[in-house]
Each structure stands twice: as C-alpha cells, then as structure tokens.
A and B are shown apart, each in its own frame.
Chain A
C-alpha cells in the first residue's frame, strides 16, 4: 500500500511524459488523475480511525541491499500521514496552477512534477536511513529540471544554486549516516540502516555532536534555516508556479520532517545541548526573513523570504520539543504549506497576466481583478497570522510552547508577529491598492483558478477553525515522541520540562 503510493506517482509520471504525443492536455489530465488516485489510496487510513496505542498505521519492509543491512522500509504514522495528504493536495494544486502557464514540453514537465512528489512522499515515508537519503536526493533532480527548464529569466543560476546547496549538504548527511551505522555496527556487530535499530545506538557525546551537525545542516538547508537560506529566494523566484508551489508548500517541509523524525530522536542528549543555538537560528530566521521580505520589490521574492520567516517558527518549535510547540509545528507546517502555495499561485497568475513580478509596476489592480485581489488579501491576512486562520494557530502554539523553554527567545520570536503584517500588507498595498502606474488589461481569475483557490481557502479556514481534527491524527505520534520512541524504547528527553504531558493540548 505504501509502496503503491510512491509507485503510482512514478508510473503516472512516465505515462504523462509519454502522453505528450496525444496532445498537450493529455499529460495534464494524467497527472491530475494520478494524484487523485494517490489521494484515494489514503482514504483507508482515515476511514480506519486512529488507534491510541501503536504509532505506525502501516509498515512495509523488504530486503534491498543485505550486505549493508539496507532494506526498503516504509512506515506511516500520524505526522507523516498529514504531510502526505498535504503533498498530494498541493500536488493537485500545482498541476492545476500550471494548466495554462506551461505550454512547452508539457509531458516532461508533469513527469518532473510527479517524480518530485514521489520523492517527497518517499522522504515522508522512509524508515530506512539509506532509503531516506535516496528519496531525499531523488526529489532534487526533477526539481532542478523544473527550475532549469521552465523557470524565469535567471533560471540557470537559481537552479544550480538550489542543486548545489541541497546536494552538498545531503552528502554531509550521508557521511553522518554512514558513520552512525558503522558505530552501531561496532556495538551490535551487524550493519543496519534501519531507523529503529539505529535509535538504540549509544554514542559518545562528542561524536554525537558531529553526527547531529551533519544531519542538522542538511535539514536546515532544506528548511531553510538562516545561514543556509540563500538558495531559497532565487529558487522560489525563478521556478515556474507549479514548481514554487511544490518547493514552498512541500519541499521545505521535508527539512522540518527530517529534524523531527531523525535529528531529535537519534541524538536526544546532544539536541538538548544544541537547542538554544537552533532556537536562536530560528529566531534569527523569523526576524531576518521578515525584514528582508519587507524590503523586496519582487512579488515572489517577498513570499519566498516570508517562508524563511515562517520556517523560523518551525525551528523554534521543534527544538522547544514539548507538546504545545510540536502541535504548533505540525499546524504551522500544514498552514504555511497552503498559504504560501496560494500566494505563489497568485504571484504566478499575476505574472502570467502582466509579465512582471515587479511590484513597482503594479498598483491599483484591485479595480481590474477584484476576485484575484480579494483572494490575495485573504491569504496575506492568513500569512500574517489572523486569528481564525491556520497560521495563527500554529504560530501561537509554537510561541506558547517555546515560552516554557526560553522566555527571552520567545519574546524575540514574537516580534515576528509584528513584522509579518507589515510585509504581508505591503504586498497587498503595492500590488492591488494605490494608483494605477501602468495600464494592464487583464483577465480576472477564471473558473479553474477560482476552484483551485477555493480549495486552498477552505483548507486554511478548516485548519484555523478546527485544528483539533489535524491534531488528532498526529496525536499518537506526539505522545510517543515525547515519552519515548518506537516499541517501548524509553528515551530520555532532556529538553522536555518535567511533568509536561498532553493535558494542555488543544485550542487556545
């Protein structure tokens, strides 16, 4: 079942590629159908309800390279289920958003899109470190093609920067993985890349520090955390709309997922020491990203920097590592995925119509495209953290959770909530309000785009109004990750304040 999730996308991608000969619409429909089928595969997991005990909803394990104890091991738990749903949902949005934008080599575009998604799903499902790494790298290559082939004016530079950053940091992670496995092999006598086995590796503090750093850098590059974020504005800006949606909505989440699935459980003691630094990076990301977003005149770049800022909250929440903060992280991941995807679709739509992303050349668009502008306003407000919409819940919970760990840090992070309205509203202000600087005769959103945006709006409102439905899904995972991991393996968790339990879970 889990393998089918990935396989469907991979096969669908090949089909879409080949279908190009039957007209430009064939690949689009095939991609759409593939994603719908994939989504349908997930229904049983929801239908079955979520058991209180036992984290793993599904599990598959096949031998792959026995020489090194590498297996094809996929597993699904609450948090990965949520992210998988997000991936497929945004995949649909990406296909819909590129329906008219992509006119050349349509087949190959959808092939790359679907394969990127397949890689991302693999990342969310893999429970074998080697397999994880394979998927981690696999998703980058088609993404590179998406940017390099269908990107905008500066695509070569952006694509290669994206590729180099992620690949080189990935190699660091591979090295860390291999060393971890070898240390485990020295203790236990067998090679294994299996997640559960490696969880029990006992490490010296010094070694653990270096290994953790290897993982941390790889994931922080993807997240992106502040010193490693420079690829992101370029990649996001230059990518085609579909690519930006996937990048911002889904791919950034793989970094966060890696941190919460691997870094923190594998190196709990080290993480406890490291968390002030990581949270500091997160806070720096929030403030620095927000300020840079404010300074942009390029619409997509603004949204890209705002992603840096929002991901800072994720970093803070993750390393606070308590129930509230983690719930906040989960919600933020989902909400940010949707709102940033929507903003990129919007920016893409504007660019498709007036052929510029420069906000100095916009202004007064509201009169021309009222629907577009209203939707833009909605998502800007969502992104700035209006109560009742998804992002607010997430960031609020993160701050609440982080406050117990480090009050000063949290106070600084909360400043992000002030910066966010500034840059979000400046986007609306400059693009849609004010005087008309150039006359653009443009279409408003059509039925397809309205439907697309409608879905995204519904999702955002849902998360904002009823986050408990999401939290229920990830609940078991959360309890387990805080108590100890996997099959009754107790693991000390220093960063967690004593006495903290899930009692105070829920809406604020």
Chain B
C-alpha cells in the first residue's frame, strides 16, 4: 500500500513529471521558446529542492519497483543538475537556429525522469521502464534538427541499435525470470544461478553494454555523438550513461550477478578492451566530438573498474568510487560539450580541430574552460578527474585487479596524447585573427563558470563531497552477505 510518506519520498520524480506535463500544456497554449525554457529550469530547480527534504526519509522501498536511497538520491541530484546544464546549453544553441524548439525541453525533462527511475530501480520492470523512457526521449532529441542529415542519421542509428539492445534486454530478463521466478533484484540474489539465467544475465549485460557504449557494443558512439546537437550529446554522454551505470552497480550487487565467475570475467574483459580500444581509436580522430566520443568509451571502461572491484571491496567503496567518478565525469564532459556548444555558430557546429586553433588568444575564457575540462578528463591533479581516477585506483588495487589497472594506465597514457593535442591546438597562434564573436551568451558562460568551479572544487578539496557520500550509502546489504 502506498502511503503519504512513500509519495513524499518519490517527490523528486513526481515533481519532474508534473513539470513535464506543465511544459507540454504550456507549449500547447502558447508556443514560446523562452517560456518553455524558463518553466523547465524552474521545474528542475524545484525538483532539486525537494531532494534535501526527501533525504531524511530514505532508504525506502516503495512498491517492489522502486528503492529510494541515498545512492539513488545523490545520482538524481547529479542527473538533474546535468539536465539543467543541458537545458541552458540548449537554450543558447537552439535560440539561434530555426524551427520549433520548445519540445527540446519537454524531452529533456522526460529523459531526466527516465534517469531518475533508473537510479532508483529495484526491479526488472522499473529497470526497463526507466531505460525506455530515457532512450525514447533521446531518440527524439538526437534527431531533433530534422533538416540536418547527420542528426537524422544519428537518430535512426541510435533508434535501431537501441531497439536491438532492448530486445536483448527483454529476452535476458525473460530468461532470468523463467529460471528464478522473480524480477526483484534483491530476491534474485538468493536464487542459484543456473545456466539459462546466466545466459539471461549476459544478455542483460549486452544491452547495458550497448547503452554504455562499451567495446564491442560501441560502434554507434562516434556517429551519434557527432551527429547529435552538441548540448544533446552532453546530455547523452552524462545522464544516459551515468544512470545506466548506477543501475548496473545496484543490479549487480543486489542480485549477486557480479559473483558469478563468468560474468565478472566478462566484465573485466570488456573493461580492458574498452579502455584500450576507446583510447586507441580516439588517437586518429580530427573531429573534437568524435574524440570525445571515443574517449567516453575509454572512460566507461575505467568506470567499470568499480563494479568489477565491488566483488572484493564491497558495495560501499565501489558505490563511492562510482559516484565520485561520475560527478567528476559529469562536470568535465558537460564543460567540454558546453564549450563546443558556445563555439558553434548558428549554421554549423565547431567540431573540427581546426576550429579551435588559437582559441587561447581569440577567446581565452572558453579556451581555459576547455583545457581545464580536457586536463580533468586526462586526470591531471587539482582537477576533479584526478580524484575520480584516484578512487578507481584505490578500488582497483584493493580488489587486486592488476590487469585492469594496467590497462587503465595505458589508456590514460593514450588519452593524454589526444587531450593534450587539443590543448596544443588551442595554444597555437591563430591562422588569422577572426572578428570577435558578437553574441555573448550569458547563461552558457555562467554555467561554464560554475562547471569550472566544480571541477576545481572537487579536485582541490573533495572532502565535503566525499563526506556526503561516504558513511551512509546504502548498497551494502548484499555486500555484507558476501564477506
């Protein structure tokens, strides 16, 4: 039975859904870009405000479907904040472009809703629902500039492949359900893993791997990243991947899937291959969005260290490492794509490496943000990325995953090369001093400044954030059982 407290605990999700409906009606009544944007921003802010109110009520299992706990809430905050950033970037991006732009915000809201559901999912049904809400919103968002051939191609590509992945997911779930008779993660943990259910689990992991663009399911990544509008790519790279990762860790821990030897070996293998292949493919790219796409494959590989290590080090450290890394990854990825967005003139996107030549001397502020974001992605100390990487090192070496850590080091080395290449390009003398860009999008610059502060803040003094995560993350129920 649902009680009022349950509803209160769900407030962040409920408010967001209500905002989505309101924005939809607002578009119906009065189509206005500014109105839709402001409503969305206000709505996300209100949902964010509800989170601290809720944080006293957790952890709370609401129906078998949804488990709202600290782990989910922390990620929800991150995802909503990322959505906010993406909305602001969309505002700057679509304002200067033609067509009906209001629905972008609607779709961002639903995507966030999907991410929120995924973060709290505790059951195959909510897993699937969350994933589909998120994915369907993303199809439309990626292909939003309908007249752009590449965006359309990217949208179709993502749609078709995502559909295939969903089919795998459903089949996997069906197999697991057929064997164990339950769809709840926690209950699954108690059931013995038989052959078909292991197959089912692997199928589920295939689908998850597709969403996370892990090698060998990464083929869509570069094209979709390149084709999608830059702010949408930012959303895709952060919210979509982050929420699936959050779910992966919860699912794996609670259902005990990581303890199945085949699965953990497969995950480790996928992690190593992703780190190496992703970073390796990024080396040869000359398109900034594609570089970031391949680098994200590598980063997802790094992140996989946390779930793989979870077996040995327990859910606590793994969840903490995952959240810290995700927070860092969100900040730096959003900053990087934010710069790409702001750099893009109205008729195209600034995605070639040449567009960035001499940026330090023509637009020093943007160049600074971009290089800090890239250095953070490379994991240089004093930036958030380093703290994240440090956490992975800690988790990995506690789990004695030497092969993974070796790949991490090699991947980072490769990564440095192409990140520094962009920075170097920006530091070159510009070919010709172009006329200074006339428009100064205030909102986007504000957002970039905040992201910059976050990157440095997390990198220089992460203690408050870690304290926020550390003691009370509540995934350890199952991990206690393993030890």
Contact = CB atoms under 8 A, between A and B. Distances in A.
Q: In the complex, A touching B, CB below 8 Å?
A: yes
Given A65-B462, A148-B424, A178-B394, A168 B375 contact: no
Given A65-B462, A67-B463, A160 B417 contact: yes
B376 to A, nearest CB: 12
Given A168-B412, A178-B394, A65 B463 contact: yes
A160 B418 CA distance: 10
B405 interface: yes
Nearest to A168: B413
A427 interface: no
A182 B424 CA distance: 37
Interface stretch (A130-138, A255-263, A265-273, A347-355): A130-138
Contact of B413 (A137, A156, A167): A167
A156 B463 contact: no
B464 to A, nearest CB: 10
Contact of B466 (A65, A105, A138, A163): A65
A422 interface: no
A144 interface: yes
B397 A138 contact: no
B380 interface: yes
Nearest to A65: B463
B397 A182 contact: yes
Contacts of A133: 381
A175 B409 contact: yes
A488 B165 CA distance: 63
Interface in A395-450: none
B470 interface: yes
A141 B380 contact: yes
Nearest to B415: A167
Nearest to A186: B398
A182 B381 contact: no
Contacts of B409: 168, 171-172, 175
A141 B382 CA distance: 11
Contacts of B427: 145, 148-149
A295 interface: no
Among B394, B410, B412, chain A packs the most CB atoms within 10 A around the CB of B394
B382 A178 contact: no
Interface string B403-429: 001001110110011001100100100
Contacts, number: 69
A164 interface: yes
Contacts of A141: 375, 380
B195 interface: no
B220 interface: no
Interface string A42-79: 00000000000000000000011111100000000000
B329 interface: no
Contacts of B461: 64
Question: Main secondary structure on chain B at its contact with chain A?
Answer: helix
Among A64, A137, A164, A175, chain B packs the most CB atoms within 10 A around the CB of A175
B317 to A, nearest CB: 10
Contacts of B405: 175
A9 B176 CA distance: 61
Interface string B449-471: 00000000000011100110010
Contacts of A68: 394
Among B386, B410, B463, chain A packs the most CB atoms within 10 A around the CB of B463
B71 interface: no
A159 interface: yes
B393 A175 contact: yes
Contact of B470 (A67, A144, A163, A178): A67
B356 to A, nearest CB: 15
Nearest to A159: B424
B171 interface: no
B390 interface: yes
A172 B386 CA distance: 14
Nearest to A105: B361
Contact of B393 (A63, A160, A167, A174): A174
B466 A178 contact: no
Contacts of A164: 413, 416-417
Contact of A67 (B361, B380, B412, B466): B466
A481 to B, nearest CB: 28
Contact of B382 (A138, A160, A168): A138
B361 to A, nearest CB: 8
A134 B381 contact: yes
A193 to B, nearest CB: 11
Contact of B416 (A67, A148, A167): A167
A179 interface: yes
Nearest to A64: B463
Interface string A22-39: 000000000000000000
A141 B386 CA distance: 14
Contacts of A171: 408-409, 412-413
Given A65-B462, A67-B466, 15 more contacts: A64-B461, A66-B463, A68-B394, A133-B381, A134-B381, A141-B375, A160-B420, A160-B421, A164-B416, A168-B409, A172-B409, A174-B393, A178-B390, A178-B397, A182-B397
Interface of B: 361, 375, 380-382, 386, 390, 393-394, 397-398, 405, 408-410, 412-413, 416-417, 420-421, 424, 427, 461-463, 466-467, 470
15 contacts: A64-B461, A67-B466, A148-B427, A160-B417, A160-B420, A160-B424, A163-B420, A164-B416, A164-B417, A167-B412, A167-B413, A171-B413, A174-B390, A175-B397, A182-B398
3 A-B pairs closest in CB distance: A168-B413, A134-B381, A137-B381
